[in-house]
Amino acid sequence: MDVLVPQTLDEALAMKANRPEAIALAGGTDLMVDMNFGRLRPTAIVDVSRLSELSAIRQENGQVFLGAGVTYATIVREMPAFKPLVQASRSVGSPQIRNRGTVGGNLGTGSPAGDALPVLAAYDADIVLRSQGRGERSLPWQTFLTGPKKTAIAPDELIIGARWRKLRGPGSFSKIGTRNAMVIAVASLCLVVDEEQRRVNVALGSVGPTIIRAAQAEEHLAAALTTAGSWDDRSAPLGDEWSDEFAELVAAAAQPLDDVRGTAAYRRLGCRVLARRALGWALNERRLPSWL
Ligand SMILES: Cc1cc2nc3c(=O)[nH]c(=O)nc-3n(C[C@H](O)[C@H](O)[C@H](O)COP(=O)(O)OP(=O)(O)OC[C@H]3O[C@@H](n4cnc5c(N)ncnc54)[C@H](O)[C@@H]3O)c2cc1C
């Protein structure tokens, strides 16, 4: 196996152009597991973990850019304003995994259980890809994630990062697993409120072939907040019947299967519980000015 160690992003893209079969290695926390179990025997690896171009975190003109090489530990440390992303990052693996594992690797693996992915979906992020020959392109997250562990990345491309419009409003990420740490999600949920556009975005992980947005639940909740006059007066109460219906619609959006980690019925129940909790947190937070 050849191990290619580029010093710059341009060099890395040139290597991918010459050897499209070469697999990118970032933190290695997914890739090395696959290699150790003999599921993958690449003929070449391109080590992208040292590329400074991939470790950028930028905010400009209301847009946020998160480089593919940014680790979970860095997100927890440096992005406190992005609470759902921090909560998801803090829930990944152990300190060792969070020190090595990257958002680009989560995207590259494309598992429906990837914890950063429901957050990027709720943010409506675009995934930025680049190749030497065709330059840069951005794909909406749902075009990038094409199925279970399947993505739209071309063999000669690298993931450069994710970009989204900065939302003003509360939000959270939470997940259910068999224990509190070092656990792959049995179900996960990210809810973000977009006060400017008067929308609520809800994304589910681990309950379908890929990340799912609960579109009907989102519309229902936005309408409920309108009816309650809550977009203008954030302290206006929302009736329990709206919250119950919201949680039901979130559960109905899931497409779960039975597997070793949980049954479909348990996952659907999990979605209902996570939705109820996330809504409660968001409504409480909306009454406080902390996210303003
Ligand atoms: C013990 C353990 C616990 C874990 N716990 C969790 C958890 O709780 N939640 C969770 O979501 N995940 C978890 N994981 C999985 C893993 O840590 C994450 O998916 C992580 O984000 C992978 O990032 P990485 O940088 O290590 O990726 P790598 O292993 O380096 O790469 C993963 C894939 O992405 C591709 N890739 C990486 N960067 C790029 C790039 N810039 N361009 C193109 N392709 C790229 C690689 O080619 C590979 O296919 C765990 C793993 C282990 C071993």
pLDDT tens figures, 14-43? 999 999 999 999 999 999 999 999 999 999
CATH code (residue 234)? 3.30.390.50
pLDDT, tens digit, 9 for 90 and up, residues 193-245: 999 999 999 999 999 999 999 999 999 999 999 999 999 999 999 989 999 99
CA 290 to ligand 1 centroid distance, Å: 32
pTM of the full structure: 0.97
**Cα separation values, 175 from 114, 171, 204, 268, Å:** 11, 14, 10, 13
- Chain centroid to Cα 94, Å, comes to 18
Is 205 inside any structural domain? Answer: yes
Q: 239: how many CB neighbours lie within 10 A of its CB?
A: 11
Q: 18: how many CB neighbours lie within 10 A of its CB?
A: 12
Pocket of ligand 1, candidates 92, 127, 128: which has the most ligand atoms within 8 Å of its Cβ, to mutate?
Answer: 92
Residue nearest to atom 18 of ligand 1 (CA): 106
More confident residue, 183 or 191: 191
**Structural domains in the chain (count):** 1
Domain housing 224: 171-287
Is 42 inside any structural domain? Answer: no
Is 220 inside any structural domain? Answer: yes
Cα–Cα distance for residue pair 73/100, rounded to 1 Å: 8
Is 38 inside any structural domain? Answer: no
Is 82 inside any structural domain? Answer: no
Is 138 inside any structural domain? Answer: no
pLDDT for 292 equals: 59
Is 12 inside any structural domain? Answer: no
Is 78 inside any structural domain? Answer: no
**Minimum-distance ligand 1 atom for the alpha carbon of 32:** 29
